[in-house]
Every structure is written in C-alpha cells, then in structure tokens.
Amino acid sequence: MGFNNELIKLNIPLTHGSDWEKRTNTSNNKRKYYFKNTVFEKRVFLEHTATACSFENCYFKGGVIFSSPPIPASAFINKIYSCRVRFIDCKVEKKLVITDCIFEKKVRFHESEIEKFIPSNAIFKDLADFWSTKFLKTVIFYKTDFNATAVFSMATFEENVLFTYSLFAEKTIFSRTHFKKGIDLSQAIISGDLKFFDLELSNFKSPYFHKDNKRYQKAITHQGFIPLVNKQETFRLLKHYSNINGDGIATSRYKVFEYRSYNALIWSEMRLGHRWVSNLVNIPMMFLNRITNNYGSNYWLGVAFTISVAAIFLNLMLKVSGDYTYTLDYTKCEWSDFVTILNPVHKIKELSIPLTKRIYLLDFLSRIAIGYGIYQTVQAFRKFK
C-alpha cells in the first residue's frame, strides 16, 4: 500500500476507514501504530506522542524523521519517546534522522537497510539494538548517549562510522560487525564494557591533520573522516578491550594495526617538518620492530632476521680476515663458524677465523644483532601466551 500524503503523523490519523483502523489500535484514547508490508511514498515524521511504533517489512521512500514537522518550531523541544520503537526488515531511503530525542524504552532496528542515518544529541535510556542492520553511508553518532545495553552485532557499515562525544554507559556489543571502511572510538566516553567478537575490520586509510583544529573538528563532526591520530587511538582501544576479554589473537592483531598507524603518523609529521628529533629516534625502532617480528605477530620474520644477520656478519669477518672463499661445502669452515656465531654467548676462540681487532669488533656487533633477533623471535611466540 502506498501513502502519497506529504507527511504521515502517527499520532493523528490522516485517513479514516477500515484499512486505517486495521493498522492502528485504540486503547484508553491512546493509539498504538503497527504497519506491515507498507510503502511510504513521502517523508515520514514520527511524533513522540504515540504509545507504540512498530514497522515490519516497510519501505520508506522519502526518509524518516523522529520529530514533529517543522511547524510550529516548539515541536522540536523535549521530544521524549515513551513507546517502544521497532523497525524490522525495513528499508529507509534518503535520511533517517534522530535529533534531540530521548527514548525511554527499547529501540530495535533489525535486518533493515538505512541509506543515511543521522543520530545527534540522542539519548537511549533502554536497549538500543541495531542487529544485522546495514548502513549505506557514513554514520556519525554525535553526542549520542547509550545509557543501557547497545547492540551492533552483525551490523554492516559501508562507510566510516564515528562515535563522536558519544557515551557508552553499560555494555556495548560488537559481534561479527562488518566495517567496510573505518571506525572511530577515540572520542567516545566509555564508562561501561565493550565486547568485540569476530570483527571484520582492516587497517583503513586516514587523513593527517596536524594542529588544524578547525579541520579536525569538522572532519569528526560533519564530514565523517577519521584522522590518523584517531585511528591509532581506536586500535589501541580495540587492543585494550580485546585483552580484557581474554582474546589474545585479536589483541595481537590490533596491536599491529596500532603500531602501523603510529608509524604512518610519525612519517606524516616528518614530511611536514614536525617533531623531527623525537621522530628520528622512533623511526629506526619502529622499522626494526616491523622487519623482525611485525610488531610481535610473526616469529618467522624473527627467524629470518637472525639467520640473515648471522650470515652477513660471518661473511664480513671472512672478508676482513682475507680468507674468504664462497662455497656450499659444509665441510668448509664457514658452515661450522656459522653455527657458532648463531650462539650469542659463544667463545670467540671457537671461531676458525684469525682474530684481529676488526674481527673482535664485528663479533661484538654480531652478538648484539643476533641476540636482538632471538629476543624478537621469542616475543612473537609469546603472542599466544
């Protein structure tokens, strides 16, 4: 059924008759509205005076706004919804706007598709459930308070989702949530528990804003961009809460993303000439951590690094000694010396190479490099501790 009115106000029936009466319930002069298998051709305004709002398998072609229509202006004040709100298997084109609203009872969006979701200055006092709902465009939860349980399980965000100055007061659940672009939790106020399980999230791209606070504020409140520093903090939070939940594998994964974000951050600062001294100290450390075990996640890199530096130093020693002949014959001295040099606490006299001052120096440096490689290998093994 199509509704061709300019707007539909759920607290005032626009059309009397048997069909409308079937879709509404009257009890004690209060109406409960239930719509199923309905197409709304124009924009729908949902006023706060109804005692129930339930939509199932409905199609909103003109969008949905939780507020009174813009006449009079006082309709925008104190929009307290005391009814339960349900959108089950619905599709909302254009915008679904929740602005300056307070929901006192449960709000559920299940298996729905929303083109542009705009929550701003909203308060959910009871359950806010977005289970298996798809959001097609960027979502900014701006100053949105989740005072009770919030569920984003199996939801899909096609673009960035930001929780800018939003409150998570109780339990918030992200289970099998699919983030096709990025998520920003850095500006959220987290006083409750965050539960993450089997997220689909990669190391997404982010712009760099240095000290331009105006561009930064516009990005996180209006444009939906996630700054590089926010991405790093988001991955730190994901790592932290995954560790609290005892998920060591996810903790290791988000640690890698966090350090890669920090690495991108310091290179962005270097390119613009910012913080040269501190970044020059950090860049070699970040580089070594990446090539030796990928920030504690890959022990094979540690093994490869250890073997490689041992081979490099042994060849340098042989070249310096003047007794260098490359061969694969394991009976030759370089193979026995190679096994010896892999032990960072070996006795230098165990080497068959003639000892000189330069050999002593190279042997000392090789012990440091090989010991570091062994340590990084062990660190990567400990990610499953």
| pLDDT tens, residue by residue, 327-362 | 555 555 567 778 888 888 888 887 777 788 888 898
3-state secondary structure the chain: CEECCCCEECCCCCCCCHHHHHHEEEECCEEEEEEECCEECCCEECCCCCCEEEEECCEECCCEEECCCCCCHHHHCCEEECCEEEEECCEEEEEEEEECEEECCCEEEECCEEEEEEEECCEECCCEECCCCEECCCEECECCEECCCEECCCCEECCCEECCCCEECCEEEEECCEECCCEECCCCEECCEEEEECCECCCCCCCCCCCCHHHHHHHHHHHCCCCHHHHHHHHHHHHHHHHHCCCHHHHHHHHHHHHHHHHHHHHHHHHCCCCHHHHHHHHHHHHHHHHHHCCCCCHHHHHHHHHHHHHHHHHHHHHHHCCCCCCCCCCCHHHHHHHHHCCCCCCHHHCCCCCCHHHHHHHHHHHHHHHHHHHHHHHHHHHHC
What is the C-alpha end-to-end distance of the chain, expressed in Å? 59
Mean pLDDT score, 304-333? 75
CA distance 321 to 326: 14
Q: Phi then psi for 240, rounded to 5 degrees?
A: -65, -50
Angle formed by the axes of helices 299-321 and 333-341, to 10°? Answer: 130
Share of the chain above pLDDT 90, in %: 47
Mean pLDDT score, 191-206? 93
pLDDT surpasses 50 at 71: no
Residue 183 forms beta bridges with which residues? 161
Angle formed by the axes of helices 357-381 and 333-341, to 10°? Answer: 60
| Residue of 209, 208, 163 lying closest to 182 (CA atoms) | 163
CA distance 160 to 134: 12
Confidence band of 70 (pLDDT split at 50, 70, 90): low
Which range among 29-43, 155-169, 296-310 has the greatest average pLDDT?
A: 155-169
pLDDT surpasses 70 at 308: yes
Taking the model in full, what pTM does it have?
A: 0.80
Mean pLDDT score, 113-139? 96
Mean pLDDT score, 181-207? 94
pLDDT surpasses 90 at 230: yes
pLDDT surpasses 50 at 317: yes
pLDDT surpasses 80 at 111: yes
Pick 53 or 190 by higher pLDDT: 190
Confidence band of 132 (pLDDT split at 50, 70, 90): very high
Residue 98 forms beta bridges with which residues? 66, 119
pLDDT surpasses 70 at 18: no
Confidence band of 312 (pLDDT split at 50, 70, 90): confident
pLDDT surpasses 80 at 12: no
Mean pLDDT score, 48-75? 75
State the pLDDT at residue 13.
32
